[in-house]
Amino acid sequence: MSQSDMKSIAVIGSGLIGRSWAMVFASGGYSVKIYDNQPGQAVNAIAEIRKQLQELEEAHMLRGELSAAQQLALLSSYDDLAQALEGAFFVQECVFEELKVKQSIFQDIERLVGKEVILSSSTSCLVPSSVFSTVHNKSRCLVSHPVNPPYYVKLVELVPHPETAATVMDTTHAVMTKVGQVPVCLRREIDGFALNRVQAAIIAESWRLVQDGVISVKDIDLVMSEGLGMRYAFIGPMETMHLNAPEGLEDYMKRYGDGIARVLTSFGPVPDFKGEGAKRINHEMCELIPSDQEHLLARKERRDQLLMGLAKLKKDHSNTSRNQTLEHQ
């Protein structure tokens, strides 16, 4: 496929994630065709995006080189699947997280697009071999799993089907990089991909520590937000270890490997997240943040504001690093 054929992306499903993808792709200059099977939903999505783009522009947080008006002009909405797919070289599916719904929409999409078109799913929890089981040509299929909210959290996990062609992974990696996301490639599919597996490990041990009365809900959250999270916004666990011993990772494992293995063997069984223990944890959480809509919405807004600030800090930080590298060349 030549570069001139790679201008238009179809976003299928215009809920929370579909709208975010549309904004991300438009920020990279792609023309984005949004389809939703609920009549009027795709039009509403564009109205919502218009509002968000204006707010982002005012806050100097708009992504990409184009103005809000230019990005908006790249978006169009469709209640007809075939029209939305016409001319698209890449399809990002964002429908409900239900296997049957995804299998059915991909069957419909495959009937309507050419052989070269890349079929990408936003699924959080379904492996590609399930999502694409109804597609004949699986070599052009993959999962591109975003993190909410994708506009500020740029990671996207690219997960291949066992038959996915290497060129499809490469093209998707290039598209995601062009729009400013940070793609990572899994070499094979696995339940939970990478991000949710790591997240599950953190949730499980946090849960056990609270359930066993070792620490409060409030304090375990501080362990992450004021402790581990401070580093992890910039460097991952591998680099953290590499930097935390005088001679790097090997030295770190010589010093601390046995201790880590000992702690790991004391981690108790997988929690069931149910019953009296779960009720107690929920009660403790709700005393900090009541679970009514008013409180939850206020905290979600605060979370997004904080993420916006962090995204800006990371952007400034990477610009500074780039300039320093150029100065040393």
Rule CB under 6 A: which residues touch ligand NAD? 12-18, 36-38, 41, 94-97, 101, 105, 122-124, 145-146, 148
State the nearest-atom distance from the C-beta of 78 to ligand NAD, in Å.
Answer: 10
State the nearest-atom distance from the C-beta of 14 to ligand NAD, in Å.
Answer: 5
State the nearest-atom distance from the C-beta of 198 to ligand NAD, in Å.
Answer: 15
Instruction: Specify the residue, 94 or 113, whose C-beta has the smaller distance to ligand NAD.
Output: 94
Instruction: Specify the residue, 27 or 122, whose C-beta has the smaller distance to ligand NAD.
Output: 122
Residue 75: helix, strand or coil by DSSP?
Answer: strand
Between CA 85 and CA 319 the distance in angstroms is 36
Instruction: Specify the residue, 61 or 101, whose C-beta has the smaller distance to ligand NAD.
Output: 101
Which residues have C-beta within 8 Å of that of residue 97, sequence separation ≥ 6? 123, 124, 125, 126
DSSP letters, 88-148, are -SEEEE---S-HHHHHHHHHHHHHHS-TT-EEEE--SS--HHHHTTT-S-GGGEEEEEE-S
Instruction: Specify the residue, 68 or 95, whose C-beta has the smaller distance to ligand NAD.
Output: 95
Instruction: Specify the residue, 81 or 281, whose C-beta has the smaller distance to ligand NAD.
Output: 81
State the nearest-atom distance from the C-beta of 311 to ligand NAD, in Å.
Answer: 17
Between CA 305 and CA 315 the distance in angstroms is 15
> What sign for the dihedral angle of Cα 85, 90, 94, 97?
positive
DSSP letters, 10-30, are EEE--SHHHHHHHHHHHHTT-
**Residue 57 near residue 71 (C-beta atoms within 8 A):** no
Between CA 166 and CA 164 the distance in angstroms is 7
State the nearest-atom distance from the C-beta of 145 to ligand NAD, in Å.
Answer: 6
Instruction: Specify the residue, 147 or 209, whose C-beta has the smaller distance to ligand NAD.
Output: 147
Count helices and strands in the chain by DSSP H and E runs = 14, 8
State the nearest-atom distance from the C-beta of 123 to ligand NAD, in Å.
Answer: 4
Kind plus residue range of the DSSP H or E element containing 209? helix 195-211
Residue nearest to ligand NAD (CB): 15
Token readout for 275 is: 């019953």
What is the maximal distance between C-alpha atoms in the chain? 61
State the nearest-atom distance from the C-beta of 316 to ligand NAD, in Å.
Answer: 26
State the nearest-atom distance from the C-beta of 122 to ligand NAD, in Å.
Answer: 4
Kindly provide the residue ranges of all beta strands, DSSP E only, lying in the chain, ordered along the sequence. 8-12, 31-35, 75-78, 90-93, 118-121, 141-146, 155-160, 182-185
